[in-house]
Structure 1
C-alpha cells in the first residue's frame, strides 16, 4: 500500500477513506433513528421503554466495542510494515476476545439490568418493554462484537467501502424486520418496542454473516485466510490488543456516558427543557458523524504510515484530518445558527420546545470547533498507538472539568440548563488543546 503519496494527493486519499466511513456511521445512526421513529408510531409507553433500554445499551456497547477497535491501528501498522503474517493471528485473537465481551454483556443484561429497572421510578409497562428490548438486542451480542473485529480488519486495510456496503445492505433489512415485529405484520408476532430489539438482534447476525463471506472470498481479504489455521488462545496477543483497546473503550464510554449523565442531571427541569435538550443533542450527534469519521480515517492512514516507517506521511495525515474537520465545522456552525428553528421544527410542533431548542443550538454551535479538533487528533494518536493520554484526558475534560463546571453554571448562575452545555464546551476545549499538544509531542519526541 502506497504511503508515500505526494502531499497534494493525500487529501484525496484521506477523502476516499473517510467518505465510506461517514456513510457507514450515518447509516448506523439512521437505524437507531428508525427504531425510535417506528416505536413512537406504535405506542408512547413502548417508545419510552425503547428509550430507556437504549440508554443502557449504547454506553456499554460502544465502550466494549471500542476495545475491539484497538485492532485497527495494530493491523494497520502490520500492513504498513508488510508483516502480513501477523494479521490472521490478530484477527483470530480479536474474535476470541469478542466472545468473552459478549458473554460479559449478556451476563450484565441477564442479572444486573432488572434490579436497576426496578429501582427506577418507571411505569410498569415501560419497565417491561425496556427489559424485553434489551433481551432482544442481546441475541445479537456475539455477532455484533465479532463483526466489530472484522470491520477493524477491513478498515485497517483501507477497505472502508466494505463496511459501508454491509451496513447499507443491512439497514433496509433492519427497517423491514422492525415493521414485521413491531406491528405484527404478515403473521409475525406483534411485539411493539421489544420487536425493535429482536429486529436489531437478527440484523446483527445478518451483518456478521455477510462480513464473514467478504472476509472469506473477497479480495484482498481472502489472501489473509483469517478463518483457517486457528490458533489457541494467546494471552500475549490479548495483552497487546487490550493495552491499546481498553483505553480506547474507556475513552468512548466516558464520552458517550457524559451526555446521559447531563440528561439525568437535567431531570429537575421541565419536560419541555429536557425535550429541547434531547433535540439539540440528537441533531449535533448527527453532525458529529463527520469528525468521528475523519478520526477513524486518520487512525487507519497514520497507522499504515507509522508501520511503513513513513513518519512524515503520518504527520501529514494527522493534520490534514484536523484541517478537514475544522473546515467542515464552520459549515456545521452555520447550519446550527441559521437553520436552528427549522431543524427544531422537524422534531416537534410544540412552540415552547422549539424556542428552547433554538437556544440550545447556539451552545451546540460553540463546541463544533473543539469537536472538530479533538476527534481527528484522537484518531491520529490511536494511529501512533498512543491511547493512554486520550482516555485520561477524556476523563479529565468531561468528568473532572466539564460536568462540575456545568453543574456550577447551571445551579449558581442565570444560565440554568444551558449551564451544562457551557460545561461541555469548556471540557471539550481543554481536551482539544491538551490532545493537540500531546500529538505534537509524540510526533517530535517519539517519531521524529
Structure 2
C-alpha cells in the first residue's frame, strides 16, 4: 500500500485492493456453491446432507479461520510502521498455530460429529451423506488453515491480486473433481454429496501448494524470507495472535453459527424445507462475499493508516468501504426481487423445493442492508485492533436477540420455518446498529489521542 492524500486517490487504491479480494472470496465460496448445487442435482437427499454438513463445518472453519485473520492487521501495521524484519517470525508462528488448531478440530470432530448427527431427526440417507461429507472434508483442514495464514500475509502487503490468481487457478480443479466424484464419471464411483467433500479437500491442498510456491519464488514476498528459517515455537507470539484473533474468530463464529444453528433447527421440518432453506441461504451467502470482501479490504487499509498514526485517512477508508457496500446491497436486492425463480432453479428441479426456495429468497433481500453496514464496520474495527467490544455486540445481536426471536416465531406462531428468517433479519439489524456506534466511538478516541500527543 501507499499513502494517499485525496479521496479520489484513496478510492482508486481501495478498489485496486478490493476487486482481487472480492474475486478471491467469491471463488472460494464457489467451491461451496458448486458443492451444494451439484449435489442438489444428484438428489434432494444429497442436497440436504451437504446442507447439514456445511452448516456444521462453516461456523467451525470461519471461526478458527477468523482467529488466524489476526495476521492481517498485525502485518499491515508492521508494514505501515516499517518493521519488515518482524513479519517472518510472526507468520511462521501463525502457521504453527494453524497446524495445532487443525489437529484439535479433527480430534474433537471425530468424537462429536457422529453424536450431533445422531441426535438430529434426519432421514437415514441424509445423515449418512452429511457424515461422509464431513469425514472427507476433515483431510483438508490443515491445508485450509495454513493457507488462511499465508493469504492473510499476502493481502496485508496489499498484494491481493496474487491471492485472486491462486484461487482462480484452483476453482476449475474443484468443479472438475465435483463432476467426477458426485456423479461418478470417468470410471469413478458415484458418491453424491460425499464426493463433494473429497473434491474440496483436494482443492484445499492445491491452493496451499500454489501459495507456498509463489511466496518462496516471487520477489515481493521472498524478500521477507518467510520459509528461510525454522523458528522455535513462541508462546508469547501465539498469545499476541490469540489475543487479537480469538475475539475476531468468535465474532465471526457468532455470526456464521446462527445461520448454521437455524439450518440444524430446521431438521425438524421435512427434507424439502431443509433443501429449500439451504438453497436460499447459499445464494444469500454468495452475495455476502461482497460486504465480507469490503470488510477485509477495510482492515488492510485502516490497519496500514493506523500503523502510521494517520487516523483521518483511516476514517476516510472506512466511509469509502461502507458506502460501496450499501451500493452493492441496493443492486443485489433488485436482482433477487426480479429473478428469484431463476436463482432457485440453479439449485433444484423439484417443483416443491423450488417454490419454497423462492419464498425464502425474498427474505434474503432484507439481509442486504444489515450486512452492508455490520460487516464492513467490523473490518474497520479490526484495522484499529478493537475487537473485544465487537465480540460482545455480535453475541448479543445474533444469539440473544436473533436466534431466540426466530425460534419463538417458528415454534409458537403459524410462520413455521419463515419465523427463523425473520429472527435472523432482526439479529443482523441490531448488530449493524451496535457496531456502527462502536466504530464512531473508536474513531473519536483516536483523534483525541493524536491531538493530545
TM-score higher than 0.5: yes
Kindly report which structure 2 residues correspond to 1:236-315, keeping only aligned pairs within 5 A, or say none: 236-269=236-269, 271-315=271-315
* Alpha-carbon distance between aligned partners in 2 of 1:264 and 1:276, rounded to the nearest angstrom: 13
Tell me the residue number matched to 1:60: 60
* Alpha-carbon distance between aligned partners in 1 of 2:119 and 2:406, rounded to the nearest angstrom: 27
Q: CA deviation at 1:433?
A: 1.3
Q: Decide which moves more: 184-193 or 90-99.
A: 184-193
Kindly report which structure 2 residues correspond to 1:407-418, keeping only aligned pairs within 5 A, or say none: 407-413=407-413, 415-418=415-418
Indicate conservation of the 8 Å contact 1:4/1:310, yes or no: no
Per-residue CA distance 1:410-433 (angstroms, 9 max, x = gap): 445554433322222222222111
Can you give the 5+ residue segments of structure 1 that lack an aligned partner in the other structure?
Answer: none
* Alpha-carbon distance between aligned partners in 1 of 2:101 and 2:219, rounded to the nearest angstrom: 29
* Alpha-carbon distance between aligned partners in 2 of 1:230 and 1:447, rounded to the nearest angstrom: 41
* Alpha-carbon distance between aligned partners in 2 of 1:345 and 1:149, rounded to the nearest angstrom: 36
* Alpha-carbon distance between aligned partners in 2 of 1:309 and 1:263, rounded to the nearest angstrom: 44
Per-residue CA distance 1:177-219 (angstroms, 9 max, x = gap): 2333344444555544333222222221111111001111113
3-state DSSP of counterpart to 2:219: coil
Q: Decide which moves more: 254-263 or 339-348.
A: 339-348
1:2 aligns with 2:2: yes
3-state DSSP of counterpart to 1:226: coil
Indicate conservation of the 8 Å contact 1:182/1:190, yes or no: yes
Tell me the residue number matched to 1:173: 173
Per-residue CA distance 1:306-331 (angstroms, 9 max, x = gap): 11121111010011111111122111
RMSD: 2.2
1:420 aligns with 2:420: yes
* Alpha-carbon distance between aligned partners in 2 of 1:4 and 1:251, rounded to the nearest angstrom: 31
Can you give the 5+ residue segments of structure 2 that lack an aligned partner in the other structure?
Answer: 449-453
Q: 1:272/1:188 Cα in 2 relative to 1: closer, same or farther (>3 Å)?
A: closer
Indicate conservation of the 8 Å contact 1:279/1:344, yes or no: yes
Q: How many residues align?
A: 448
Tell me the residue number matched to 1:404: 404
Q: CA deviation at 1:17?
A: 0.9
Q: Decide which moves more: 237-246 or 365-374.
A: 365-374
Q: 1:112/1:355 Cα in 2 relative to 1: closer, same or farther (>3 Å)?
A: closer
1:142 aligns with 2:142: yes
Q: 1:251/1:44 Cα in 2 relative to 1: closer, same or farther (>3 Å)?
A: same
Tell me the residue number matched to 2:451: none
* Alpha-carbon distance between aligned partners in 1 of 2:332 and 2:198, rounded to the nearest angstrom: 35
Tell me the residue number matched to 2:393: 393
* Alpha-carbon distance between aligned partners in 2 of 1:190 and 1:419, rounded to the nearest angstrom: 37
After TM superposition, the score normalised by the length of structure 1 is 0.93
Per-residue CA distance 1:282-307 (angstroms, 9 max, x = gap): 22111111111101100010001111
Q: Decide which moves more: 273-282 or 63-72.
A: 273-282
Q: CA deviation at 1:346?
A: 3.8
Q: 1:105/1:220 Cα in 2 relative to 1: closer, same or farther (>3 Å)?
A: same
Indicate conservation of the 8 Å contact 1:3/1:308, yes or no: no
